Amino acid sequence: MDVQLLTFIIVGASFALYIAIAIWARAGSTQEFYVAGGGVHPIANGMATAADWMSAASFISMAGLISFMGYDGAVYLLGWTGGYVLLALCLAPYLRKFGKFTVPDFIGDRYYSQTARTVAVICAIFVCFTYVAGQMRGVGVVFSRFLEVDIVTGVVIGMAIVFFYTVLGGMKGITYTQVAQYCVLIFAYLVPAVFISILATGHVLPQTGFGASLADGSGVYLLDKLDGLSTQLGFNEYTSGTKGTFDVFCITAALMVGTAGLPHVIVRFFTVPKVRDARKSAGWALLFIAILYTTAPSIAAFARVNMIETINGPTVNEQVATGTPHSEAPSWITSWEKTGLISWDDKNQDGKMFYSGDERNEMHVDRDIIVMANPEIANLPAWVIALVAAGGIAAALSTSAGLLLVISTSVSHDLLKRNLMPNISDKKELFYARLAAGVAIVIAGYFGVNPPGFVAQVVAFAFGLAASSFFPVIILGIFMKRMNDKGAISGMLAGIGFTAAYIIYFKFVNPAANVAENWWFGVSPEGIGAIGMLVNFAVALLVFKMTKEAPQEIQQLVEDIRYPKGAGEATAH
């Protein structure tokens, strides 16, 4: 049975499972649509949170970043993992105690201001659309290769599936669908990693194979070989970094605090019955996330070695071969060439492919294909290749659903119910939530067809925007009871405005200037969210000092959040 047929079968079966779960768990009220009725078990919520969290950026693109960037790619690993710990310890229990559906709901009530609520809604939609662009790009990458359809068609198929279980099931349907998606994506990620680790190093665990010697009897360690290949081919040494220390710090910080400000992750902690369950589900989610994140560096290293040797020919006596005839290229290269994500330019007209980091290079390899192509590069069985395709789609769709639900609830609950149309019925609010989700899916599909960058880069921008907008006002709202509405609103606008302007200038207005010597303080667009966060804090505190502090009843409310006496149920009002 060939790869395409197996992919249709496995992906089709996973889609059927997701749709069946959505029908079984369809939402009948706003309580179920927004927070799954508040009755999800902590372990199930941990799995759903992990799936919501581990997007196409984690599954498809993170190992690709580490594979191409080496040591520098570790900032994504450290930032995203550390950020989840920050979220679990500092924010989740307090927000759960507050008992609201959404982050804009918290900000609107905590800062006693409809203006603050509206600004938060705008920020949430801006962040989520930036993030979902990366997910739809991931869907397009998977479909374009494994189902042999163009990216537009692939994105449309993904949109249809997400639309069905998001609009029908809401958070209730999404939660149980994400439990299934976690099982699919983690199995799909681990199986090829274990296969390749055994073949390359003899170690069953990829995490130990990553630091082991090769199984060819040479006694050479995997990373030593990779360092040697990299330097011979004109790349930087794999285990050394090239980014400035301050930029590395800023990117890691932006990813960490951006994690803690992501509305689609925060809302997951409203779906459990008690504050104690929020803490438990955070712990379970961290365990489920760690399984994938500790595996990513080994996949990156294995794929890098295999890719170099497949394109350039096997190394002999530690000397890099002169290339492989394109006419004899393995099937994975010709298959990915059809998608446009791999291309060959025969510069010296010798008919051979050659991959390097200098002027000799003839190959363009998109970093987003590394995980998806890894089983093919290593000549693993066809069913493993099809399984990875299903895992990549599961990762992209699970996060897309969470993001689209945030957009939906931000419009229907925070903008309409709590602001513009306070007297609408529960049924009418549910209708507007589904309508908003449908419109959001169409816009997300456009970004999937016309993405502003590769998956993990686009997602990094979303984290920077979340770091510069939500994180400071949430932290100040919990831990500084006197912080007022004017400070919060000014901080959000200044933080996200500065960060968005910086990213837009260097990525879209003047991309030619996007080099380290032109960056402010040497901070890249991926890391500027950390500076935007500081701008937010500074403006918020400055405006607070010049204006009246929060009313006494709000300060008492904050006291109740910080020192919870009971669990509290998530409520609409």
What is the distance between the alpha carbons of residues 136 and 441, in angstroms, rounded to a whole number? 10
Longest dimension (CA), the chain: 78
CATH of the domain at 534: 1.20.1730.10
Does residue 156 sit in the same domain as residue 192?
Answer: yes
Split at pLDDT 50, 70, 90, the class of 65 is: confident
What does DSSP assign to residue 319?
A: B
Q: What angle do CA 8, 9, 12 make, to 5 degrees?
A: 75
Last residue of a domain, one of 377, 404, 424: 377
Whether 251 contacts 74, CB under 8 Å: no
Does residue 183 sit in the same domain as residue 313?
Answer: no
Averaged pLDDT, 345-351: 90
Cα 169 to chain centroid distance, Å, stands at 22
Does residue 126 sit in the same domain as residue 189?
Answer: yes
Structural domain total, the chain: 2
User: DSSP letter string over 248-284?
Assistant: HHHHHHHHHHHHHT-HHHHGGGGSSSSHHHHHHHHHH
Nearest partner of 128 among 265, 254, 271, 289, judged by Cα:
265
Nearest partner of 193 among 211, 206, 174, judged by Cα:
206
Does residue 123 sit in the same domain as residue 156?
Answer: yes
Averaged pLDDT, 75-103: 76
Does residue 141 sit in the same domain as residue 278?
Answer: yes
Split at pLDDT 50, 70, 90, the class of 358 is: confident
Does residue 437 sit in the same domain as residue 473?
Answer: yes
Does residue 190 sit in the same domain as residue 323?
Answer: no
Does residue 412 sit in the same domain as residue 529?
Answer: yes
Helix (H) or strand (E) holding 393: helix 382-409
Nearest partner of 135 among 158, 106, 107, 103, judged by Cα:
158
Split at pLDDT 50, 70, 90, the class of 545 is: very high
Extract the tokens encoding 546: 């010049």
Candidate from 134-138, 371-375, 421-425 with smallest mean pLDDT: 134-138
- Residue 232, in any domain of the structure: no
pLDDT at 401: 72
Last residue of a domain, one of 349, 377, 405: 377
On the CB side of 106, how many CA atoms lie within 13 Å of its CA? 29
Whether 564 contacts 97, CB under 8 Å: yes
What is the distance between the alpha carbons of residues 185 and 507, in angstroms, rounded to a whole number? 31
Residues of the domain holding 342: 303-377
What is the distance between the alpha carbons of residues 289 and 192, in angstroms, rounded to a whole number? 18
For residue 29, pLDDT beyond 70: no
What is the distance between the alpha carbons of residues 141 and 160, in angstroms, rounded to a whole number? 17
Does residue 319 sit in the same domain as residue 404?
Answer: no
Does residue 351 sit in the same domain as residue 472?
Answer: no
pLDDT at 570: 46
- Residue 312, in any domain of the structure: yes
How far apart are the two ends of the chain, measured CA to CA in Å? 55
For residue 454, pLDDT beyond 90: no
pLDDT in tens, 379-390: 888 888 888 888
Task: Name the pairing type of β-strands 352-353 and 324-325.
Answer: antiparallel
For residue 39, pLDDT beyond 90: no
What is the distance between the alpha carbons of residues 514 and 530, in angstroms, rounded to a whole number? 18
Does residue 91 sit in the same domain as residue 107?
Answer: yes
Averaged pLDDT, 530-536: 94
- Residue 236, in any domain of the structure: no
Taken in order 91, 409, 35, 396, the sign of the CA dihedral is: negative
pLDDT at 569: 47
pLDDT in tens, 550-571: 999 999 888 887 765 544 444 4
For residue 367, pLDDT beyond 50: yes
Whether 136 contacts 451, CB under 8 Å: yes
For residue 572, pLDDT beyond 60: no
Q: How far is CA 59 from CA 295, 308, 544, 547, in A?
A: 11, 22, 42, 46
Extract the tokens encoding 190: 């681990």
Task: Tell me the whole-structure pTM to 2 decimals.
Answer: 0.79
Backbone angles phi, psi at 365, to 5 degrees: -120, 115
Candidate from 124-133, 175-184, 538-547 with smallest mean pLDDT: 124-133
For residue 494, pLDDT beyond 50: yes
Using DSSP's 3-state secondary structure scheme, residue 324 falls into strand
Does residue 307 sit in the same domain as residue 411?
Answer: no
Average pLDDT, the chain: 81
Last residue of a domain, one of 347, 377, 407: 377
- Residue 240, in any domain of the structure: no
Residues 6 or more apart from 538 whose CB is under 8 A from it?
none
**Greater pLDDT, 94 or 133:** 94
For residue 170, pLDDT beyond 60: yes
pLDDT at 457: 56
Backbone angles phi, psi at 364, to 5 degrees: -110, 120
For residue 531, pLDDT beyond 70: yes
- Give the number of other CB atoms < 10 A from CB of residue 220: 14
Percent of the chain with pLDDT over 70: 87
What is the distance between the alpha carbons of residues 216 and 428, in angstroms, rounded to a whole number? 66
Q: Note the residue count of the chain.
A: 573
- Residue 34, in any domain of the structure: yes
Cα 32 to chain centroid distance, Å, stands at 25
Backbone angles phi, psi at 203, to 5 degrees: -95, 135
pLDDT at 568: 46
For residue 453, pLDDT beyond 60: no
- Residue 571, in any domain of the structure: no
What is the distance between the alpha carbons of residues 409 and 406, in angstroms, rounded to a whole number? 5
What is the distance between the alpha carbons of residues 257 and 472, in angstroms, rounded to a whole number? 9
pLDDT at 571: 47
- Residue 218, in any domain of the structure: no
Backbone angles phi, psi at 353, to 5 degrees: -80, 140
pLDDT at 513: 85
pLDDT at 193: 92
Residues 6 or more apart from 99 whose CB is under 8 A from it?
270, 568, 569, 570, 571
What is the distance between the alpha carbons of residues 228 and 230, in angstroms, rounded to a whole number? 5
pLDDT at 483: 94
